[in-house]
Amino acid sequence: MKVNLRIWRQNGPGDKGSFQEFPNVEVTPAMSFLEMLDVVNVSLEAESKSVVAFDSDCREGICGMCGAVVNGIPHGMGQRSTLCQLHMRSFNDGDTITIEPFRAKAFPVIKDLMVDRSAFDRIIGAGGFVTARVGSAPDANAMPIGKDVADEAMDAATCIGCGACVAACPNASAMLFTSAKVSHLNMLPQGGAQKDARVLDMIAQHDEEGFGACRNYSECEAACPKGIGVNFIAKLNRDLRTAAMRAR
């Protein structure tokens, strides 16, 4: 099958950038989306042209490195999957596919489809830790935690920090990411000592990075490859109000 590609090319945050057309690219339905980009780059290398820059690592939907907006949808049209898990069998022969980077002020373009997501690292660094001396793995019954609490904390911990929530949000908010990182620690006893400071510091860093405010569009939940729900944003807001009142 053949597809027509419109790929965003940009040399850096200071460059204006534009779409480049790649007509009649020969692919197979079994190819992953990133393998298709590899094919494009092989042909560009053969012509001594600049290859398309894009992020990838595990290519198994685990690391959160890959990410691009495909036909207006972060990670493409797959449900609860990353870009590397999207396959060309999802498209039809002759389709035109538009590929562009995650767009947000806090995610400056490094080159082409690659963006700088180090703002996420700084949010985690602002409070994503515990001071409890946890040592080695304890026995399962040494610190009883209700199964419902443990399950919900694990749901929050599945966030891979890919940034799709930011790309999907009309306000470029990272509240789903921040709420997941706050909640998976705040819900467990090990994170209790820093609970108030954590939420205040991480939200302050979120705002300082230039992310927008949540307006309950819930586009982030639809785009999240791990299916993290906006209920964690509601939990974050409750923790934030409680911490702010205690701080006063």
> For every residue of 50-108, which 3-state class applies, written as one string?
CCCCCCCCCCCCCCCCCCCEECCEECCCCCCCCHHHCEHHHCCCCCEEEEECCCCCCCC
**What is the pLDDT of the chain when averaged over all its residues?**
94
Distance, CA of 232 to chain centre: 16
157 and 64 both lie in a single domain: no
Q: Per-residue pLDDT tens for 53-95?
A: 999 999 999 999 999 999 999 999 988 999 999 999 999 999 9
Please check the confidence at residue 140 and state whether its pLDDT lies above 70: no
What CATH number is associated with residue 241? 1.10.1060.10
Domain end marker among 83, 110, 137: 110
Q: What is the mean pLDDT of residues 26-44?
A: 97
Q: Per-residue pLDDT tens for 189-215?
A: 888 889 999 999 999 999 999 999 999
- Tokens 């819930």 correspond to 218
Q: Is the separation of the CB atoms in 231 and 156 below 8 Å?
A: no
96 and 195 both lie in a single domain: no
84 and 46 both lie in a single domain: yes
Q: Which domain holds residue 224?
A: 117-247
How many beta carbons lie within 10 A of that of residue 142, not counting itself?
7
104 and 123 both lie in a single domain: no
What CATH number is associated with residue 12? 3.10.20.30
13 and 125 both lie in a single domain: no
77 and 131 both lie in a single domain: no
64 and 159 both lie in a single domain: no
225 and 240 both lie in a single domain: yes
Cross-strand pairs, 73: 70
Q: For residues 180, 185, 188 and 194, what is the CA-based torsion angle, rounded to 10 degrees? A: -140
Whether pTM > 0.95 for this model: the answer is: no
In 3-state terms, what secondary structure has residue 227?
A: coil
Percent of the chain with pLDDT over 90: 87
Backbone angles phi, psi at 223, to 5 degrees: -90, -20
Strands (E), the chain: 2-9, 18-26, 69-70, 73-74, 96-100, 109-111, 114-115
Q: How far is CA 39 from CA 14, 28, 30, in A?
A: 28, 11, 13
- Total structural domains in the chain? 2
Angle, helices 231-247 vs 175-186, to 10°: value is 70
pLDDT tier at 248, thresholds 50, 70, 90: confident
How far is 30 from 8, CA to CA, in rounded Å? 24
